Structure 1
Amino acid sequence: MARTPKKTKKPAHSNRKYIIGFWTLFGIGILAAVLIFLLAGWGAFGKMPTFEELENPETNLATEIFSSDGKTLGKYYSENRTPIKYEDLPDHLVQALVATEDERFYQHAGIDAKGTVRAAVFLGTRGGASTITQQLAKQLFTEDVAQNNIERVFQKVKEWVISTRLERQYTKEEIITMYFNKYDFVYQAVGIRSASKIYFDKEPRELKIEESAVLVGMLKNSALYNPMRRPELVKSRRNQVFEQMNRNGFISETEMDSLQKLPMKIQFTPEGHDEGMATYFRVYLQGFMKDWIEKNPKPDGSEYNLYRDGLKIYTSIDSKMQKYAEESVTKHISHLQKEFDRQNENNPTAPFRDIDNSEKESLLESAMQRSERWRKMKAQGKSEKEIRKSFTEEAEMRVFSWNGTIDTVMTPRDSILYYKSFLQAGMMSMVPQTGEVKAWVGGTNFKHFKYDHVKQGKRQVGSTFKPFVYATAIDQLKFSPCDTLPKSRFTIEAGKHGNQNDWSPKNAGDDDYEGMVSLKKALAQSINTVTARLIDKTGPRPVIDLVEKLGVDVSRIPAVPSIALGTPDISLFEMVSAFSTFANQGVYVKPVIVNRIEDKNGTVLYQHVPETRDVLSKEAAYVTVNLLEGVTQSGSGQRLRGTWAKGRQDYERAVTGYPYDFKNPIAGKTGTTQNQSDGWFIGMVPDLATGVWVGAEDRSVHFPGIRYGQGATMALPIWGMYMKDVYADSELKVSKDDFERPENLSIQVNCENYGSSQKTDDSVPDELDF
């Protein structure tokens, strides 16, 4: 049998080279890792944040607009982020974040070693390794997307380095706060405060635990877990968050079971520039801010950025009054539009009236050339023939309707006709004593109709101009509301007061020319011949001078007698501020929309200082108000008292909740322009003046008759609905008292015992000597 040879034992020194090789490679690996981290820290793999950047990370903050009662009206932003402090985060929101995204957040120093090993061993199938701090680092300082695995490794190294720096620089609470303030929840909801407002219409501290779970669930992938697009998936993700909270001891199993059964309720309130409250006001405010920024640089000489610097703008708008104003406009105009459309059914030139087809084509041509489509195609070098052809080619569109946006197919030309058929409205409300604008509604729907009918639009004011004529006569000639003038026909001859031709105004009623009438009744019934006699006595220039002192741009108002009947084009903004002077005892206060501006740190940059001037005596202002009270007592505004002609009440009840049945003193004036193109009502109580205009984009788009086309039907109901809501809200404390009567009033306003001293047309000087 052969002998098995004995194994010879290797000498110990024969393994030394492997041992040395292993430790050499290990040391090189450690040194390489250290070098990689050092290189990353030095910026070799891309820009790294400086110490100063870590102290003040760029957060691209939105400018926030506040109402006078502390509500957010909107924002200006390139990124809709408004930061909040840790103490404003509810406990359950923080707990949900830690439980779901980083269970060992309070134990690690930026890098979770256990999680990293687990992710490496199981290739991420049992959860990722990114800590909250790493996610924040990625959001703050590593914006470039990795294109391959090597770049991803280097990016991860950068995240680790930045994470450790963040952990050294900030507390855990500060890191959580920065993370919540930075994350993009989509739909312009950048940061937890914007997300809370947009998805639940509340501040973060008001969130319920189930709402916090929805938002934390979105952190995994906000585009995928989007409650507006995938509600069932989001609900499932929300319930996973509850499981994580139970696993980490933040809620009991019983609480988890109860919470998982709750329905998911989203109250989507978008904060886009075209959406939300006071959209027209925010556009005007944007222009105000740009002007202010140009004139008020930062201490270092640079300009403030409205969209990135996190300014805080505290406005005069009251959120409740704004809400009531918008609701009143929507309710009335949507119903009035139905009647308007019905009356246009057999109109061959609809939506236009009083024009022929050639004039209709001319209006369409003008509208096409002003359109964005025409401008863009012309900029692209398209020929006029190509541009015109495009207006006749059908295309898919989303168009406005009072029942919601409609998906349809029509030609751009037809869409112009469609949009011109809609009635529009403007509304503004302000406090006469302070000038604070409390409500501003520039139109019916900002997304579809950008034109602002408060400040931007100027239209003929009709009979709402007459109080300026009466006020001039009272101030200069000491007229009393009880004085009488003839209603008879009256002519101002050519050459007098700059008149080029004879001017003989007519009254509304063909036979309404008999007898004498008091000034109070004449204004209440809007008798044109009486107003003509008054401006003949004062002359047009003193009226224009008064109007200018009341804040109206008079550069295009001619000094001719016909202005007495409201031919000038004036903005609603100017009319409301002018009327407010009467309620403020003759003192004009320039309207204010911004009370204060602060920077992101709360430093006051601007504080409003009121601008005032005396325009009328207290006596003249009060007597004018007394005249205007007559309009709501016995004139075109009397439906505010609950009385109006039979036959209109059904319409009023259906549309506006008529009767309004106001018992308190109200001074106001309706206005209707030629062909019923414009309907106005401006009404005042002692501490609130509100004006309303209703019409269409083109003056040739109007009601065929006075019944629906007058200011008392088109505009006054909006005022009535608005004031009913304002008075029903006890927190607003709007006055129902009498207008303040001056002491030692020398002009008679009580007409019961006024007879022997009544003036006639012959007892008053023909005109003032100016």
Structure 2
Amino acid sequence: MLSKLKTSPKLKWFLVILLGCLTLALLFFFSIYFGMWGKIPSSEELQKLEQSKATQVLSSEGELIGKFYIFDRQPITFKELPQHLVEALIATEDVRFFEHDGIDNRSLLRVFFKSILLQDESSGGGSTITLQLAKNIYGRKDYGAFGIVINKVQEAIIADRLEDHYTKEEILTLYFNTVPFSDNTYGIESASMKFFNKHTSELNLEEAAVLVGMLKASHSYNPRIFPERSRLRRDVVLMQMARYGYLSEEKALETKRKDLVLDYRNYSNNKGLAPYFREQIRKDVSKILDTLKNIEGQSYNIYRDGLIVHTTLDHKMQQLAEEAMREHMMDLQQQHETSYGDNAPWLQNRILEDAVKRTESYQKLSNNGLKHEEIMQELRKTKPTELFSYNGSSTKNVSVIDSVAHYLKFLNAGMLAVQPEDGAVQAWVGGVDFRYFKYDHVSMSKRQVGSTFKPIVYTAALESGMEPCTYFSAEEVTYENGWTPANSSSGDDPHMNYNLKTALSTSMNTIAVKVLMETGIGNVIQEARQMGLESDLPQVPSIALGTASLSIEELTGAYTSYVNNGKPSKPYYITRIEDGNGNLLASFKPEVAQTPAFSETTRQVMLNFMQATVNEGTATRLRSTYGLNNDIAGKTGTTQNNKDGWFVGITPNLVTVTWVGADDHRIGFRNTGIGQGANSALPIFARLMQEMNQYPYFNNITNARFAPVSSEVAEMLDCEEKKRDGFFKRLFSGSDDNEEEQQEEKKEKKGFFGRLFGKKD
């Protein structure tokens, strides 16, 4: 019987087939092992695991304000992983994690038979944390019908090597740092910051369960999109923890009763805090990294190398600045649109058509050979389009032309706040909404600065020897080319002479030009250069009224000199760049002028002038409307035809410049009442100060006081604000006076002749 079995043809064929299958299986395995289906990382390569990591941008207090990444990933250490987070992962994904060597043989057999023999790709099982780590790091490729087998064998080989070179704690750390979560987020730290706005080490039990639950299907269990589904999955994780003894059943049930609460933060370039500032950081850091090399002689990559960029930005002030800007601009936009009614310039054919021609849609059709009328006809077709609004963006069926008109009507804004002693940027607002308006009005835009240039004129005058109590007439004068500057206020008396303080604080155009001409245009431009202005400055009388175009950055730096001992500070915002381990790659120091741009006497006088601007001049609404009692100096500015509104706010420890206007220079405010700097730009600063006054955190700014002027300067400033012209000067000026003034002249005449003939006045 036994001999018959041994010689049975069926048995022989069975053994041959079995041996053949085993041989083929071994050959197949070794073909994978030796890289015939794709290179498998060696043990040496696995010891040097490098994953693409997000570069973090931090505020001055170390708060995360943004990231640059291909995959949003922030590595952390095992010590930063809460125990309940680790236990939630093990209970849910790999309960025998500490018992196997990377491959759970029992589960592997199930996968082998179901996946290979039954071709059931959804059979699951067998995937340990180490195997998942291998998949997270190296991904999977499409090998056709054998894809699932090849990928799993490759992962098994990598997992075995990982277990040889890393401890269980290190494997858990690698896993948490590489595992994908929802919303293009990689790694537990990035997920924790995005969904709960807290570091991994701060996650509580239910939050940890939500994130671990997301790993089964990152989209299906995204708590932002499917909160109820995510909560149910969280509860499954909690019960798994109770099942395997990591949690009492009572604790699990208690936690299940809690609501799912997110604190979602999106760190994309278009959203989140300080988007214009972050974009400027991206540009600057990219250039800086081109000059640096790592230990292997390669350039650093801002999207890949997990760098840390430390900035000067004050996280809280930036939040308040953006809120102040948005609140004011919402109100101002309504005033702006209402004032024009049906005669809006953004609907005028010439302006609208010029704007349409600059669009990408027009250029593309033009490049395809279409004529202008054909293009315009095509661009009148409607389609669903997302449109910006302060009340929330909405999607409407509009044409490209309608969309262009919609965006033309919007005013924009820019604001920069710096520490005067070193120029450290505290807040940076480049526009009203980065998603729809990419142009940064802090760093990229140059606009005429209007009357904010006048303090530079007066500073140059004082430096040239002019006394603060020098008087000038408000009377209009015609200069070369027939230019006759006039004052914005029709109530200024041309027969009255005003001292410099009154003329500046009330922003008299006629006197500003006279001061310029007496000082000399060359001397004023030289003073501007000493105060840090580098842009072209026209050598014409109108420069006194701010016809020069400057950036907010330039103007802010110049004004820091008034509260920094006469030394202008150039705005700066990056303090240092580190690698992911905290090693210093580059550091940066403030750029402060070595020598003062003007004397201490001039500084005190000018600061006194600009305090008067706030207390009794063009910026009094800071006191009357906004109720600010802080020590503030400032200067308003409005350009020709109300195209630009400016305000410079100065406190002892903060210099802030705000600008408001339309992106298209041809669109100005309807009238001065709306467009003047005191109405268009000043309120952003005012609202910011109001909010800062509510927080003790800002006491060093809000409670700071200007030092009193010296006795010498006080004596220099001790004079009447204005003097009236004498009778004969008024008589021969050829100007008509009102009835009251004529009566006064009669009295003067009577007094004169009475004195001439010995009679009493």
Q: TM-score, normalised by structure 1?
A: 0.88
Tell me the residue number matched to 1:341.
337
Measure, in 2, the Cα distance between the counterparts of 1:756 and 1:664: 24
Q: 2:130 aligns with which of 114, 117, 133?
A: 133
Helix, strand or coil: the match of 2:65? strand
Taking the aligned partners of 2:691 and 2:211, their CA distance within structure 1 comes to 35
> Is structure 2 residue 560 aligned with structure 1 residue 583?
no
Choose from 394, 403, 416 the match for 1:415.
403
Q: What is the CA-CA distance between 1:552 and the residue it aligns to?
A: 2.0
Q: Displacement of 1:106 after TM fit?
A: 0.8
Deviations 1:640-698 (A, max 9, x none): 22x2xxxxxxxxxxxxxxx4322232110111122222111110111110111111122
Say if 1:549 and 1:750 are closer, same or farther in 2 by CA, change over 3 A: closer
Which residue number corresponds to residue 648 of structure 1?
A: none
- CA gap 1:206/1:750 in 2 versus in 1, 3 angstroms: farther
Q: Deviations over 1:595-641 (max 9, x none)?
A: 00112232211111222222222222222111111111101211222
Question: 1:97 is matched by which residue type in structure 2?
Answer: L
Q: Distance in 2 between matches of 1:164 and 1:384?
A: 66
Whole-angstrom distance in 1 between the partners of 2:314 and 2:704 = 21
Instruction: Show the counterpart of 2:604.
Output: 622
Q: Assess, with a 3 A threshold, how the Cα gap between structure 1 residues 253 and 749 changes in structure 2: closer, same or farther.
A: farther
8 Å Cα contact 2:496-2:722 kept in structure 1: no
**What does the per-residue CA deviation read over 1:92-117, in whole Å, with 9 as the maximum and x for residues that have no partner?**
11111111111111111110112223
Contact 2:136–2:180 under 8 Å retained in 1: no
Residue of structure 2 aligned with 1:115, choices 88, 107, 113: 107
Cα distance in structure 2, aligned partners of 1:507 and 1:362: 30
State the partner residue of 1:145: 142
Which is worse superposed, 597-606 or 508-517? 508-517
Which of 267, 272, 280 aligns to 2:268? It is: 272
Q: What secondary structure sits across from 2:49 in the alignment?
A: coil
Q: Distance in 2 between matches of 1:380 and 1:169?
A: 59
What is the aligned partner in structure 2 of residue 509 from structure 1? Answer: 490
Give the alignment of 1:539-554 within 5 angstroms.
539-554=520-535
Alignment match of 1:59 (pick from 51, 61, 64): 51
* Structure 1 SS opposite 2:381: coil
**Amino acid aligned to 2:319:** K
> In the alignment, which of 87, 90, 93 is matched to residue 98 of structure 1?
90
CA distance in 2, matches of 1:200, 1:44: 44
Kept in 1: contact 2:495–2:725 (CA 8 A): no
Match of 1:487 in 2: 473
Counterpart residue number, 2:193: 197
Distance 1:201 1:94, change over 3 A: same
2:751 maps to none
Question: Of 259, 262, 265, which aligns to 2:258?
Answer: 262
**Who is 1:647 aligned against?**
none
Paired residue type of 1:411 = S
For 1:332 and 1:93, locate their aligned partners in 2 and report how far apart those are by CA, in whole Å.
Answer: 44
- How far apart, CA to CA, are the structure 2 residues paired with 1:696 and 1:716? 16
Give 1:282 deviation, angstroms. 1.1
Provide closer, same or farther for how the CA distance between residues 172 and 31 of structure 1 changes in structure 2, counting only shifts above 3 A.
Answer: farther
**Code of the aligned partner of 1:328:** A
CA distance 1:537–1:112, shift in 2 (3 Å): same
Equivalent residue runs for 1:284-363 within 5 Å: 284-345=280-341, 347-348=342-343, 350-352=344-346, 360-363=348-351
Gaps of 5+ in 1: 1-9, 495-499, 644-658, 762-770
Offset of 1:462 from its aligned partner?
1.1
Partners of 2:140 and 2:151 within 8 A in 1: no
Q: How has the CA–CA distance of structure 1 residues 414 and 126 changed in structure 2, closer, same or farther, with 3 Å as cutoff?
A: closer
Q: Which residue type is aligned with residue 706 of structure 2?
A: F
Contact 1:368–1:413, Cα closer than 8 Å, also in 2: yes
Whether the 8 Å contact between 2:499 and 2:721 is mirrored in structure 1 is: no
Aligned to 1:704: 670
Secondary structure in structure 1 of the residue aligned to 2:656: strand
Q: Distance in 1 between matches of 2:160 and 2:368?
A: 52
1:244-272 Cα shifts (integer Å, max 9, x gaps): 11111111111111112222122222121
Instruction: Provide, for residues 556-606 of structure 1, a one-character-per-residue CA deviation record: whole Å limited to 9, x for no partner.
Output: x21111110111111111111111111111112221110001122322111
1:621 is aligned with what amino acid? R
Q: Is the 8 A contact 1:547 1:554 kept in 2?
A: no
**2:422 corresponds to 1:434:** yes
Q: Which amino acid aligns with 1:134?
A: L
| Cα gap change, 1:296 to 1:209, in 2 (>3 Å) | same
Q: Secondary structure at the match of 1:173?
A: helix
The CA deviation string for residues 197-220 of structure 1, in whole angstroms up to 9 with x for no partner, is 221222212222111111111111
Structure 2 CA distance for partners of 1:112 and 1:512, relative to 1, 3 Å: farther
Matched, 1:44 2:36: yes
- Decide whether aligned partners of structure 1 residues 749 and 635 sit closer, same or farther in structure 2, where only a CA change above 3 A counts: farther
Structure 2 CA distance for partners of 1:386 and 1:194, relative to 1, 3 Å: farther
Task: Provide the rounded CA distance (Å) in 2 between the counterparts of 1:381 and 1:132.
Answer: 58
Q: Residue in 2 aligned with 1:738? A: 705
| Amino acid paired to 2:128 | T
Note the C-alpha offset of 1:122: 6.9
Instruction: Name the SS of the counterpart of 1:217 in structure 2.
Output: helix
Q: Which residue of 1 aligns with 2:757?
A: none
State the percentage of identical aligned residues: 37
TM-superposed deviation, 1:461: 1.1
Deviation digits for residues 1-36 of structure 1 (CA, Å, limit 9, x no counterpart): xxxxxxxxx245744778888777767666655554
Shift of 1:488: 3.1
**Could you say what secondary structure the match of 2:585 adopts?**
strand
Alignment-mate amino acid for residue 437 of structure 1: V
- C-alpha separation in 1, matches of 2:297 and 2:303: 18
SS at match of 1:224: coil
Q: Match for 1:202: what amino acid?
A: K
Letter in 1 for 2:509: N
Cα shift readout 1:683-724 (whole Å, capped 9, x = no counterpart): 011111011111112234333222222111111111011112
**Contact 1:676–1:702 (CA under 8 A) maintained in structure 2:** yes
CA–CA separation in structure 1 for the residues paired with 2:409 and 2:664: 9
CA distance change for structure 1 residues 702 and 558 in 2, over 3 Å: closer, same or farther? closer
Residue 371, structure 1, aligned to residue 338, structure 2: no
Query: How far is the alpha carbon of 1:80 from its aligned partner?
Result: 1.6
- Counterpart of 1:5 in structure 2 is none
Tell me, in whole angstroms, the C-alpha distance in 2 between the residues paired with 1:296 and 1:377: 43
CA distance in 1, matches of 2:493, 2:282: 50
Q: Is the 8 A contact 1:623 1:749 kept in 2?
A: no
Distance in 1 between the 2:69 and 2:526 partners? Answer: 43
CA distance in 2, matches of 1:533, 1:539: 10
Work out whether residues 726 and 734 of structure 1, in 8 Å CA contact, stay in contact via their aligned partners in 2.
no
Q: Distance in 1 between matches of 2:462 and 2:377?
A: 60
> What is the CA–CA distance in structure 1 between the aligned matches of 2:608 and 2:638, rounded to whole Å?
22
User: Out of 226, 229, 235, which is 1:233 matched to?
Assistant: 229
Give the CA RMSD over aligned residues.
2.7
Q: Could you say which residue in structure 2 is the equivalent of 1:671?
A: 637
For residue 536 of structure 1, the aligned residue among 494, 517, 526 is 517
The answer to whether the aligner puts 1:251 opposite 2:247 as a matched pair is yes
Measured after TM superposition, the shift of residue 287 of structure 1 is 1.7
Partner amino acid, structure 2, of 1:233: R
Native 8 Å contact 1:67 1:317 kept in 2: yes
1:394 matched residue in structure 2: 382
Aligned to 1:4: none
Provide structure 2 residue ranges, at least 5 long, that are not aligned to the other structure.
Answer: 727-761
Change (3 A) 1:227 1:258: same
Matched-pair contact (CA < 8 Å) for 2:522–2:539: yes
Residue type at the aligned position of 2:393: T
Residues 299 and 151 (structure 1), Cα distance of their counterparts in 2 relative to 1, 3 Å cut:
closer
The alpha carbon displacement at 1:430 in A equals 0.2
